[in-house]
Structure 1
Amino acid sequence: MPARVTEVKCKRCRTVLFTEEATPLLSAHGEIRNTSENLPCTANGSEPPCLYISTDTVPDWIKECINKELWTKGKINCQNCKSRLGSFNFVNEIKCECGECPVPPIRIIRSKVDRPADSLRNSIV
């Protein structure tokens, strides 16, 4: 049986943005998120609003956005519908909610994307 590909899609237009196999999502502490239960920082006990991407595995289309802004800071928009999906900030270091670790500089807003793992978990709850 072939490995299952986990696609991350724009919630507005359903365009595939990237796969988690090629671009693993990270926790606020920079660790690869294996499951949706692998919460990034339990400082406040709620699910975090952002997902993070490593600069080593960033998709080409996001890298183009970053290069356009000269690796400073800016917004990440869907290639298809131009809906805002997240942001990047290489200028200011931001700490996670527990205050221990700097978060990765490339952020995707959880509510702006669809992930099969998130919808499966929401239907179980």
Structure 2
Amino acid sequence: MARGGNHGAAGSTHEMNVAVHKDALLKKRAELEETAGLKPLSDSMEHNNGRQGDMADQASGNNEVHIHLRLKQTDAKILQAIDEALMRIEKGTFGICRDCGEPIAGARLNAIPWTRVCITCKEKQKA
């Protein structure tokens, strides 16, 4: 019985950590969804198209549209990764490296809760 109690305590700690990460994921998703609606890309493009001015002004406007587009693409990728992480929580596979199957370090999950790989596998990908 004592053994089962210890397992339950470890399970509770794991469940508590997963709950903390799930909360962080939901907050980040809400933040990204909120900022995504602040200034649609079409607004930047219309503003840029309506500009009168010299070539430098037009280039600056084009750069603004490009940056805005890149930010939207990055946010979309993060939103997708967050949704995938939430699905892994539901499946019970959250915190397990997709590449090696080992647990992902808590510090890494705290920093990037939507990560799919441990730091070792991430470094191998960069090499």
Asked if TM exceeds 0.5, the reply is: no
Does 1 or 2 have the higher relative contact order (CA < 8 Å, sep 6+)? 1
Larger Rg: 2
- Answer 1 or 2: which has greater strand percent: 1
TM-score, normalising length from structure 1?
0.22
